[in-house]
Amino acid sequence: MSMEAPERETDEQPVLQVENLQTAFFTDKEVIRAVDGISFDIREGETVGIVGESGSGKSVTARSIMGLVDTPGRILDGSSIEFKGEQLVGKAERDYRQLRGSGIAMIFQDPLTSLNPVYTVGNQIKEALRLHQGLTGKDATDRAVELLEAVSIPDAQRRVTEYPHQFSGGMRQRAVIAMALACDPELLICDEPTTALDVTIQAQILELLQDLQEERGLSIMFITHDMGVIAEISDRVNVMYAGEMIEKAPVEELFDNPKHPYTQGLLQSIPGRHPGEDRLRTIEGDVPTPNEPAEYCRFAPRCPEAFDACDAVHPVNVSVGEEADDHTAACLLYPDEMSREDAVETHRARDATSQLTDPTEGSE
Ligand code: ADP
Ligand code: MG
């Protein structure tokens, strides 16, 4: 399991490096800053979790990396997404299509968005193999069967000739994973791939992803709203809230020592954490739509620990762990070895230097 993974070298270049990513939707009535200046990276062979409630910007993050942001959305100037050292922001659609087939693959929550109902599962995998590996005919058929076997679909010889509707939900998601593997990606982005499945099937899919990762050295970006799933699969975790990453840590550290009140609230809502209680504790209220510049803490209205400055100062990520940079939180309560005034002042000063220009100004 990922928690026992040995310490990795940190000086090698990450597979994916996201720096100050900002993706906004310019609607008639407002600018929605769906992803508002996030930074994170993914190293070779590791699983990085992105967790947060619905509406926090997880899917827009994934779509930004895949070059699939729909109008009226746009990645703003100053954003950087590097895949193996190559800048993806501003890439032409033609080059992106190439990349989507070979370097990075994505799996969505609903397998039916990736599968075409009028073609057999086999033909869809074969199409991916033709496009990305130039395989056709019997070679492609054999490879399609191998891929179905690789994702543990029983009776693959027969299954390869069947249509998506003949597959159960769990088998369909396996077929989608097989399709993603057809292009031999280095990075697999999974956007809530198990959310629509029952818990038993969910556990099987998570196990499958872990096996595939081990066999193929895949890097995985795993998006979910479920802290239980995060614990199961991630090496490192990024917690998202209203377009921002508000806490980052190695998985064990995050669960043992959560610092941001939002993360603490998410952990409280995991079933089974509070035996004897018949209701889940959840955080009151919803994620706000990030339609104003972040000049305050977007979590403050729901935060049990909020104080006056939280409405006036934008918290930046500061180190909160024993090991520098490994664990950060964007909350005015930290660094907690400082007086509260000094901590607030630290955030105010650091935010001022990072927000010299408003990237949405002058656009559309
Ligand atoms: P999550 O995946 O974490 O549930 P999303 O990334 O889907 O959240 O959405 C983040 C924010 O971006 C939400 O406020 C959502 O309403 C907004 N958003 C997403 N897609 C669009 C769009 N096409 N047009 C306008 N707003 C959008
Ligand atoms: Mg989503």
Task: Give the lowest-confidence range in 122-126, 150-154, 272-276, 282-286.
Answer: 272-276
At position 63, the amino acid (one-letter code) is R
Q: Where are the alpha helices (DSSP H) in the chain?
A: 58-66, 93-102, 121-133, 137-150, 156-159, 169-181, 199-216, 227-233, 251-256, 261-268, 340-354
Confidence of residue 4 (pLDDT cuts 50, 70, 90): very low
pLDDT band at 2 (very low <50, low <70, confident <90, very high): very low
Q: What is the DSSP string of 29-78?
A: S-EEEEEEEEEEEE-TT-EEEEE--TTSSHHHHHHHHHT-PPTTEEEPTT
Of residues 108 and 235, the one with the higher pLDDT is: 235
CA distance 193 to 312: 38
Q: Is the C-beta atom of 170 inside 6 A of ligand 1? A: no
**Ligand 1 centroid distance, CA of 352 (Å):** 27
Please tell me the distance between residue 29's alpha carbon and the centre of ligand 1 in angstroms.
15
Closest residue (by CA) to atom 6 of ligand 1? 57
Q: How far apart are CA 94 and CA 336, in angstroms?
A: 49
Q: pLDDT tens digits for 25-45?
A: 999 999 999 999 999 999 999
In this prediction, residue 272 has a pLDDT band, given cuts at 50, 70 and 90, of low
Q: In angstroms, rounded to a whole number, what is the distance separating the alpha carbons of residues 49 and 235?
A: 8
55 Cα–ligand 2 center, Å: 7
Residue 1, pLDDT above cutoff 90: no
Cβ of 225 less than 6 Å from ligand 1: no
Helix axis angle, 169-181 relative to 199-216, nearest 10°?
A: 20
Second CATH level (architecture) for the domain 1-103+185-364: 3-Layer(aba) Sandwich (3.40)
Residue 148 CA from chain centroid, whole number? 25
Q: Which residue in 298, 343, 303, 301 sits closest to 320, CA to CA? A: 343
Q: What is the mean pLDDT of residues 188-203?
A: 92
Domain residues of the chain, as ranges?
Answer: 1-103+185-364, 114-183
**Most informative mutation of 22, 32, 54, 110 for ligand 1 (most atoms within 8 A of CB):** 32
Q: Is any atom of ligand 1 closer than 6 Å to the C-beta of 109?
A: no
- Taking only the tens place, the pLDDT of each residue in 347-364 is 999 998 776 666 666 544
How confident is the model at residue 216, as a pLDDT? 92
Question: Can you give the pLDDT at residue 223?
Answer: 97
Asked whether residue 102 carries a pLDDT value surpassing 90, the answer given is no
**Residue 162 to residue 238: CA distance in whole angstroms:** 39
Strand bridging mode 244-250 / 236-241: antiparallel
pLDDT at 281 over 90: no
Using CA positions, which residue lies closest to atom 7 of ligand 1? 59
Beta carbon of 62 within 6 Å of any ligand 1 atom: no
Ligand 1 centroid from CA 57, angstroms: 6
Output the pLDDT for position 111.
Answer: 80
Can you give the length of the chain in residues?
364
Residue 59 Cα to ligand 2 middle (Å): 4
